[in-house]
Structure 1
Amino acid sequence: MTITFITGANKGLGYETARRLVDAGHTVVLGARDGAVAADKLGVRWVRIDVTDEASVRAAAADVEQHEGVVDVLINNAGVHGPMGDPSGLTGDELLGVLDVNLVGVVRTTTAFLPLLRRSADPVIINVSSAMGSLAATHDPARAESGVVAPAYTSSKAALTMLTTQYAKGLPDIRINAADPGYTATDLNGHSGPQTVTEGTDAIVALATEGPGHGSGRFVDRHGEIAWS
């Protein structure tokens, strides 16, 4: 039985990923600050986690160690958007707030859960990133990413993709990849994306279910591996 822990899994991409992985036979542990209702709907266990709080993250890992004893797949999904539009008034605190969730939160969670992942025969980490952090995508007028101004979010996702490649190099015993959901209708964008939430989770689910023997340090969307620049 594959045991999967997902942060930010009480709604949106995280919830749909949890639902699909439950259907695929995974034992999903739903990580969120408030996940009781979502966990009940899915029939899974909820563990409270606030990825911006070191003590909360450590407590979540200890809880999973006590109950499941191992994690096969860690999905770092929790994320926030931050200010959009004209960056003239963007403050350092606003940027730090987004980075604290989208980037530093991934570091906190990964570090805390590494001992549990290393108990797995095939440990996997999936970081939910975005082509919004890609220079190529955000400069291509044919792509939706080129028309969005979201300085904090895009910066955090560019950093997260690079963080993923560094972790993949530094932790060769674990398969670590980044997923780009694509422009998906979720609360994060006011449900403006053209993709359904199921389509938006295709890449995440594919990485979570692909099995041993696949590469690490990849950036993947629902159509396959993509270059990052």
Structure 2
Amino acid sequence: MTKLLHVDSSILGGNSVSRQLTAQIVASWRAANPGTEVSYLDLAVDTPNHLSLESLGFRLPADTVLSDVQKRENAVSEALVSQFLASDVIVVGAPLYNFAIPTQLKAWIDRIAQVGRTFKYTDKGPVGLAGGKTVIVASARGGVYSTSEAMTALEHQESYLKVIFGFFGITDVRFVRAEGLAMGEAAKAAALAAAQIEIVAHTQTSANQEKTALAA
């Protein structure tokens, strides 16, 4: 059974385009892959604390004596990284806030970026330990950043997510993009229509590949 982790991070609730897109991605994936088990994480509601001296316990030597606060923070980190590692597919809602991802999403990434769990260091450099997963990012943007080098250089949303998931060893990172959302109703409608096409392409492709593999 495929396990899918659905992660939202927008603070806009029902007005969020990224939440709308992740819900559609998950629904389309489940329609194409019956029996998929879905777990949900709303980082705007249940945000892990940002990294601090108390929440860095999982990076300390194993024989370190931890405080009660560090133990509680360690339990949060362990639950999040275990949930991530147990998932085959991760659908991430990632709106663009001030040229980057929401701090809530960054806090989650900081908790799952663990040496020995999602990556390791070797004499030849870092090696990702979380390969074999599929990540689908619902990218929502008020402006248009994909059509020129000048604008692409300003965004640290898709570029960062591609790098960090790649660092974890994940090579199958897909983007469903809706941009230009703040540039008028016509632009928003066109962006959402384009995103629908990408949703079908990214979810149906995996289903067809799996069916082909089973028939081989």
Greater relative contact order, per chain length (Cα 8 Å cut-off, separation 6+):
2
* TM-score of the two chains, using structure 2 as the length reference: 0.50
- Give the structure-1-normalised TM-score: 0.48
Which structure features the higher share of strand residues?
A: 2
